[in-house]
Amino acid sequence: MKKETASLVDEAAQSTTALGPLVGLAREDFVGAVALLLRETAGNPVRTMRHAQTLGKDMVQILTGKSGLAPDPKDKRFKDPAWQYNPFLRAGAQYYLAVQKGMKNWLEELELDAIERDRANFITQIIIDSIAPTNTLIGNPTAQKRLIDSGGLSLIKGLKNAYNDIVYNKGMVSQVDKRPFKLGENVATSKGHVVHRTPMMELIQYAPTTDEVHEIPQLTIPPQINKMYINDLSPEKSIVKWQVDNGIQTFVISWKNPSKDEGHWDMADYVGACREAIDVICKITGAKKVNVSGGCSGGQTTAMLASKMAADGDDRLGTVTLMVCVLHPQQNDIEAGSLMTENGLKLAKTRAAKKGIIKGADLSRGFAWLRPNDLIWNYVINNYLMGEDPPAFDVLFWNADATNLSAALMGDFLTIFETLAFTKQGEVEMVDHKIDLSKVTSDVFLLGGVTDHITPWRACYRSTQLFGSKDVTFVLSQSGHMQAILNPPGNPKAKYYISKAEGHPPADVDTWLGGAEEMAGSWWPYWMAWIQQRSGNKVSAPKKLGSKAYPPMEAAPGLYVLEPA
């Protein structure tokens, strides 16, 4: 893979779509942030004029060739030598940098509270990124060279790519070349069968690859906004394969893509489906307990399931593994958190309820515009200006395979965020019980990602204090979000951090970090050893999947993953 393509893939893979409070952003939140800037501009015309004069002086220096403005050496947009040696391009870059500097200095003088300042900085950065000269052919020397070297073919290919995105990708620039991937052939290839299907979910049991298996099975609850095969992308980075190769009886839920008529599906329905899956697993395997894992919003669903089972006195829950999952959010956890307002959340809920669902394409579009440099302009340059195909990468293929989100479930997730439901012991009612994680005594394994800006690891760490469990383990993986999870053995650069201190993890995250040790390699073997110790004795592996009551149906990954959004 070329260096430029590898960089593009890495940046996008760190920003995979995730279900969180950002789904509650309303357009009024963006309008309000812009209105804040306009208000400050009009409210102090003297200050505005002073900064305009400073910008004018910078422009004069640029015109006379006396400007010392230069791009940050780390800014890859201006790495082409032409930005340094071509006087016209150098001036163009300096104009852009002068605007960037002027905006930064102006914002620093505004009298804003912390949230307003974050909001202003976030919106202005989006605006500044959008006007970068590199986003246009006339302002991108690398694209111009490609145009000349290719005899104009790069422009023709770029126009074709743009046309295809308008017609076939709902106007959004493509992040991935989907053509090389086909489910069941080179993606999601682990052997297994659907053993139970309901209108909401399919339960997939995967075939054992060892002669003996641990008696306590493992159930994975995926996010409702993404499809389940992230757990089985390829043999090299398949969590499913890792589990069955280590003697774990593996089951995974595959959620149905909800239609408008199914927009009433709420958290209670999804938790009920998870409990039904546990019922089926126990009947198929004869196990009395089931270990459960979930990532991102699937982790929140897992936590709600654990709370509900504890409230009902259902002791079938074994261990709980939560990956890149925030149960105790704070508004400043993420860059765009400052945009969220109480009124915006209400508007988002109301609009979603009228539509029944939030379409997967709309979620992806909104998410991309929150990180436009990584998820939009990079691809505009690559696909349209350079005439290159987007990269063919399995994580991005999975991320582009969007699913819809039921309005009722979105409302419940936003309620959890607004009320901090998981942090309250018996104060917030949902899923027919008062949420109380302090009653959950299962052993808990938590995972965060060092560079995760979607579910920041410090926010993930707060979950260590919520459960009533005596045994809570927190592991910090390198990379961000999905890449933190998909970090299998074999990567020579892989590492993770654990604390070997005895007792419950401390409340202060910096105290934990001070006592953490860096470990070379993937965190998967460490987690597997943890799971195996809590998965009971070994028994002979089943010769057939399912049972007489639950006979195997379609081969994995099932039918529901084939439904488009």
Q: What are the pLDDT digits (tens) for 439-453?
A: 999 999 999 998 887
pTM for this structure? 0.87
Q: What is the mean pLDDT of the chain?
A: 87
pLDDT reading at 10 higher than 60: no
Q: What is the pLDDT of residue 123?
A: 79
- In this prediction, residues 361-385 reach a mean pLDDT of 83
Percent of the residues in the chain that have a pLDDT greater than 70, as a whole number: 88
Compare 268 and 34 and report the one with higher pLDDT.
268
Q: Among 55-69, 177-191, 201-215, whose mean pLDDT is lowest?
A: 55-69
pLDDT reading at 196 higher than 90: yes
Q: What is the pLDDT of residue 289?
A: 97
CA distance 27 to 307: 34
Compare 370 and 322 and report the one with higher pLDDT.
322
Q: In the β-sheet with 317-323, what is the strand arrangement from edge to edge? A: 192-197, 201-206, 250-255, 218-221, 290-295, 317-323, 444-449, 472-477, 495-499, 516-520
C-beta atoms surrounding 211 within 10 Å: 9
CA distance 33 to 26: 11
Q: What is the pLDDT of residue 44?
A: 67
Q: What is the pLDDT of residue 1?
A: 46
CA distance 201 to 197: 6
Q: Among 182-196, 265-279, 303-317, 385-399, whose mean pLDDT is lowest?
A: 385-399
pLDDT reading at 414 higher than 90: no
- In this prediction, residues 426-433 reach a mean pLDDT of 95
Classified by CATH at the fold level, domain 192-331+348-353+404-541+551-562 comes out as Rossmann fold (3.40.50)
Instruction: Give, in order, the Cα–Cα distances in Å from 294 to each of 128, 221, 224.
Output: 37, 5, 11
E strands within 453-561?
472-477, 495-499, 516-520, 538-540
* pLDDT one-digit tens code per residue, 118-163: 777 777 888 888 899 999 999 999 999 999 999 999 999 999 999 9
- In this prediction, residues 538-558 reach a mean pLDDT of 96
Q: What is the pLDDT of residue 482?
A: 78
Q: Among 19-28, 233-242, 466-475, 522-531, whose mean pLDDT is lowest?
A: 19-28
* pLDDT band (50, 70, 90) for residue 375: confident
Question: What residues are labeled active site?
Answer: 296
Q: What is the pLDDT of residue 33?
A: 61
Q: Among 26-30, 50-54, 497-501, whose mean pLDDT is lowest?
A: 26-30
Q: What is the pLDDT of residue 142?
A: 94
Most confident of 44-53, 119-128, 356-365, 427-436: 427-436
- In this prediction, residues 489-500 reach a mean pLDDT of 89
Q: What token pair was written down for 200?
A: 């909401």
CA distance 177 to 388: 10
CA distance 435 to 468: 13
Judge whether 237 and 486 are in contact, CB under 8 Å.
yes
- Domain coordinates in residue numbering, the chain: 20-150, 192-331+348-353+404-541+551-562
- In this prediction, residues 189-217 reach a mean pLDDT of 97
* pLDDT band (50, 70, 90) for residue 366: confident
Per the document, the length of the chain is 565
pLDDT reading at 31 higher than 70: no
Q: Among 15-29, 190-204, 261-275, 336-350, whose mean pLDDT is lowest?
A: 15-29
E strands within 274-373?
290-295, 317-323, 357-358
Q: What is the pLDDT of residue 3?
A: 55
CA distance 2 to 22: 33
The backbone torsions φ and ψ at residue 496, rounded to the nearest 5 degrees and listed phi first, read -150, 170
Contacts of residue 524, defined as CB under 8 A and 6 or more positions apart, other chains included, come to 239, 242, 487, 488, 489
C-beta atoms surrounding 367 within 10 Å: 24
Q: What is the pLDDT of residue 509?
A: 93
Q: Among 210-214, 247-251, 369-373, whose mean pLDDT is lowest?
A: 369-373
Q: Among 100-104, 362-366, 430-434, whose mean pLDDT is lowest?
A: 362-366
Compare 478 and 386 and report the one with higher pLDDT.
386
Q: What is the pLDDT of residue 16?
A: 52
CA distance 548 to 351: 46
Cα atoms in the Cβ-side hemisphere of radius 13 Å centred on 480? 16
Measured torsion, CA atoms of residues 43, 47, 49, 52, in degrees rounded to the nearest 10: -120
Percent of the residues in the chain that have a pLDDT greater than 90, as a whole number: 58
